[in-house]
Amino acid sequence: MTRNEPSATGNSPSRFSQWKTSPVIRYLLLLGFALLFYFSLLNEVVPETYDIQPNKVSEKTIYAPYQEENSLATEKAKEEAASRIQPVYKIVSIKNEQIVETIFDKLEQNNTDPEMTFDVRVDLYRNLLPAIYTDYVERFMKTLRAAGNYNDTLMNEIEKQLLEQQYKFSEESYYKFPRLTKDDLTAMETVAKDIVNRLMNDPLVEAQSARAKVTEMVNSSTLTKNTARELVQEIVRFALTPNKFYDAKETDQARAQARENTKPVLFGKNDVLVYKGEMITEETYQRLKTFNLLKDKTDFRPHLGLALLVALFVLVIFMFIRQSKLSIQNNNSQLVMLLLIFFLNIIGMKIVSLGQNLEYPHIGYLAPVAMGTMLVIVLLDAPLAYVSSIIFSLMSGIIFSVDQDRLMDYRYLFVSLIVSFAAIFSLHKASQRITILKAGIMISVFGCLGIVTQALLDNRFTMTDLSYGLSFAAVGGIISAILVIGIMPFFEMAFGILSPLKLVELSNPNLPLLRKLLTEAPGTYHHSVMVGNLSEAAAEAVGANGLLCRVGSYYHDMGKTKRPSYYIENQMNMDNPHDSIEPSLSKAIITAHPRDGVEMLKEHNLPKAIRDIAEQHHGTTLLKYFYYKAVKQAEESGEGKVVEESEYRYPGPKAQSKEAAIVGISDCVEAAVRSLRSPTIEQIDSMVRKIIKDRLDDGQFDECDLTIKDLDTIAKALKETLLGIFHARIEYPGDLPKNNDSKGES
């Protein structure tokens, strides 16, 4: 499948056309490919070495050629990981309501003893109540140790916090407790237990935070006596304890585990090892030595190997182009385009490779490798896309290889080849830009399938590797599609390319110009559609751009919309206005439609290739009807006026491309055959060949590259297409029935 290029105008080849076919330029472009490959792979294959000594200032910024562990940074990362571990706390269930019950039991027992005086009770409570708490803690700790659920460090911390956070009754409370009656104690106990249970439902590291809420909760209780409220507050505060305790042992274990789980910190590929102007310490010197970056001796073998690899890449491109029948074989403009596509694709891979490190080891799958393949197949040719895909994949394997012992990483080569071929299959005969997005999705899907295949075959693939790889591959396909959609218009504009996608968009009948043609000149619209069918078939028969011919045919008579009634295909149920005007005026009206059409196409920013067809499809042909009419009028007038044939010719230019010439032939053939009421096969064949011969004799094909063989092929293709169009109306002489009342049909 070929792509259209803007044709040169004029009677002699322009400098631009000479540049496009110059062998010297072609070899210079191949040299450009070699330089691109060499310098893009140089740092990957042949790391630069440096003449550096310790305790001297570095004259350059030095980057890591591959990944290597940074021991100091690894240790720092371990400490940071450990510091991020939050202290481990354990919640311990403590039955604080038992403290409350014990207190009220003692109060009731002593306050109802008639033999005890007030002062004795005060002294008793001053010693008894604090002891209730310490006794409870002692019993509680024995129970915990017997259960064996907690380590000794945590047990000691629990006992320490319980004792340190013990609440002390106010001295005034000891004088108020002896005065409480049995009814007071009963009411108070219920409220105290309820509040303690509610507050102890929350985890408490500090009991004081819960004690601050006691006053409000007691005041909202059912107690009415102030003394009862005050003493309940004291008892509740006394009974509250922490229930969440710091576990130092488990915290240390968690931090040790975090250190152990910390992955080694590497000097990632392309990370800075030494900054320009930085002093070279002994440690830095040893680091550079580890990376083999010290210049000890000159070794040209890697450079020679890279040169041979580059030569093989260029040779593959050169031989494929040379032996193919693609238009790029003699078109340096397309070779420049291919070079730019390679450049952009390699730049995309190099940019992604800058982010390749230990944290994102599979970021290479994000690279838009398929972008280059998609651009080649859409803007150039499918066969060339296969060769380009293989080279892109090999370069991807080299660029994203992080192992110093391995030149090429087969994982990236494999996935790149998969996604590139998926792009080719998805975009073959693409006709809409939405197809590119669909192709991006297919690239993502097949990229993920390639990674899953690797994961199943390679035991070194972890779930983390798989998840990263799938994520990057899925995003990479979409990025490739988005980049292609964004870049394509620049190529189309810079190189004057009409891609199939653009041509299909221009053939949409809802576009303003085509709707104008349909509504204002319906006969011309139908004629243009028929010309499109004929020209596409003829163009494909001789290897020209059939889609361009079809779309160019839709627009070739757009100028007729300025005066549609002056063209016979639009004259339905009306007189021909040319019958009442001079032939010179008729000539001026008719010959103006190519120029008017070009102006309209320019106003709507249609590509130059379409405008060229509209301008060149009549070439400099003669308007025979009006010329002979003018000659006849001149003879009848008797004035002896000579009518020059040149005055009744279209202004041109002649067809500069195969496509413009084919549309011109098809335009004339369609109009001529349409004028026949019941065309036969012989009439159609004779008319097609006569029209082509007349144009050939008139020199209309002198400035395009149609050969006599091409014209014969075009005649056959037009005849076959017309037979299909007029199938039901063509009479086959050999099949005519003997009965004159019936008519044979094919």
SS3 of residue 63 by DSSP: strand
Residue 672 pLDDT > 90: no
Strands 244-246 and 89-91 turn out to be: antiparallel
Q: Residues 711-725: pLDDT tens digits? A: 999 999 999 988 877
d(CA 166, CA 211): 11
Confidence band of 534 (pLDDT split at 50, 70, 90): very high
Residue 457 near residue 437, CB atoms below 8 Å: no
Residue 570 near residue 521, CB atoms below 8 Å: yes
pLDDT of residue 46: 72
Q: Residues 274-311: pLDDT tens digits? A: 777 778 777 777 777 766 667 655 567 777 888 999 99
pLDDT of residue 292: 64
Residue 45 pLDDT > 80: no
Backbone angles phi, psi at 398, to 5 degrees: -80, -45
Q: Residue 473: exposed, middle, or buried by beta-carbon count in 10 A (0-12, 13-18, 19+)?
A: buried
What mean pLDDT is predicted for residues 375-398? Answer: 90
Residue 665 pLDDT > 90: yes
Query: What mean pLDDT value characterizes the chain?
Result: 84
What mean pLDDT is predicted for residues 38-49? Answer: 79
pLDDT of residue 432: 66
Backbone angles phi, psi at 561, to 5 degrees: -70, -15
Rg (CA), the chain: 47
Q: Which domains, from first to last, does the chain contain?
A: 23-43+299-501 (no CATH), 89-246 (no CATH), 509-735 (1.10.3210)
Written as six digits, the tokens of 570 are 């639009």
Q: Residues 415-465: pLDDT tens digits? A: 999 999 999 998 876 656 778 888 899 999 999 999 899 888 877 777 877
Q: Residues 183-192: pLDDT tens digits? A: 888 899 999 9
To the nearest 5 percent, what fractions of the chain are helix, strand and coil?
65, 5, 30
d(CA 126, CA 20): 110
Q: Residues 201-216: pLDDT tens digits? A: 989 999 999 999 999 9
d(CA 400, CA 161): 57
Among 110-124, 225-239, 254-268, the range scoring the smallest mean pLDDT is 254-268
Q: Among residues of the chain, what percentage have pLDDT more than 70?
A: 89
- In 244-320, DSSP assigns E strands to 244-246, 266-267, 272-274
CB crowding 450-465: b at 16 or more within 10 Å, else e: bbeebbeeeeebeeeb
CB atoms within 10 A of CB 318: 14
* Chain mean position to CA 484: 9
d(CA 673, CA 667): 10
Residue 269 pLDDT > 80: no
Q: Residues 126-170: pLDDT tens digits? A: 999 999 999 999 999 998 888 888 888 989 998 999 999 999 999
Q: Which residue has the tokens 């096969």?
A: 681
Confidence band of 357 (pLDDT split at 50, 70, 90): low
The H-assigned helical ranges of 223-298 are 226-239, 248-261, 282-290
